[in-house]
Structure 1
């Protein structure tokens, strides 16, 4: 009997140690995709995209993670309909020909159990460049309000040069360097 109990305990321990990856879907009502840049040396302009979706896969035991996010380029929101239209033009996002922006990453770096960065490809206007998102915060576990649901909360930042994506209009008058900021809340898929 002791051998059976010991065998079951060891089997359970082995299963726990090799936990399967868990997939999470981004909750757009509690997430944000923003970007900012220096404008003429006078102000730091900040804008956002209102429509995006994505999945995150996390394997805490193996310390691996991946992200697959799609952003609707036509959902750009600067607070000005005129400026939204200008940024959708070919000299910027070219949203008519490239309606989606994507970020796909699977090169994760952990500090203990905490995800600290993830590297992958950012695709804008059909041009892909490697980008590393640095996480300022990362939490995974039972959601504090929806206690029966596991979730992920994270804030990540990166910097890119817009000219790398064919958007060099008015550089250097308007900064080439763009700060990206992602606030993500995601829930485990059932």
Structure 2
């Protein structure tokens, strides 16, 4: 009887440890070659300027069991790319981003509203141009697969949202009637850390 009790206790301990291992949060590092923050902004109400930011880094922590997680992304604002060199240069200068003084933008948030084990939004804060404001991003697509080369889990998502750039002190063009709303669209891929 004592042997059975000891065996059952050991079995329960192994099962508990195994479940705890699977329930632990996992950390993923953003792949900057497959992460693409892009934006769309009004130009005098007659067209939209579109651009992207080429340099970024970040981490995602995901706990599927607890339905929680976090996101932290840093973007190098000097990597702005409108596809027009003069506009890129202007955006880096003192009249807009002033990348000499504010070289980075940072977004930190919490994954939320899990549906079928997948987060559908990020509730967070954007730190841009020395100003911090709340920003919620909707996650339209979220999927994880085994990476075919690295044999670790690779997760991808497509997130979107918008913000008022004047609230961050980026109000160039406002006097000419520009709409201050900036639409964001961010595709991201992240590889699970070893």
* Number of positions where the alignment pairs a residue of Structure 1 with one of Structure 2: 189
The aligned residue for residue 76 of structure 1 is 80
CA distance in structure 1 between the aligned counterparts of 2:71 and 2:49, rounded to whole angstroms: 27
Residue 41 (structure 1) shift: 2.5
Given that residues 25 and 64 in structure 2 are in contact (C-alpha distance below 8 angstroms), is that contact kept between their aligned partners in structure 1?
Answer: yes
TM-score, normalising length from structure 2? 0.89
Residue 40 (structure 1) shift: 2.3
CA distance in structure 1 between the aligned counterparts of 2:158 and 2:9, rounded to whole angstroms: 42
Given that residues 71 and 111 in structure 2 are in contact (C-alpha distance below 8 angstroms), is that contact kept between their aligned partners in structure 1?
Answer: no
- 1:109-120 matches, within 5 Å, as 109-120=113-124
CA distance in structure 1 between the aligned counterparts of 2:4 and 2:129, rounded to whole angstroms: 64
Cα deviations by residue, 1:84-116 (Å, 9 ceiling, x for unpaired): 011112232111100010001125231231100
* SS state at 1:169 partner: coil
Richer in strand (by share): 1
TM-score, normalising length from structure 1? 0.91
Of 144, 147, 154, the residue aligned with 2:157 is 154
* SS state at 2:99 partner: coil
The aligned residue for residue 168 of structure 1 is 171
Aligned-pair Cα RMSD in Å? 1.9
The aligned residue for residue 186 of structure 1 is 190
CA distance in structure 1 between the aligned counterparts of 2:32 and 2:89, rounded to whole angstroms: 23
Gaps of 5+ in 1: none
- Structure whose alpha-carbon radius of gyration is higher: 2
Gaps of 5+ in 2: none
CA distance in structure 1 between the aligned counterparts of 2:14 and 2:49, rounded to whole angstroms: 53
Given that residues 17 and 61 in structure 1 are in contact (C-alpha distance below 8 angstroms), is that contact kept between their aligned partners in structure 2?
Answer: no
* SS state at 1:164 partner: helix
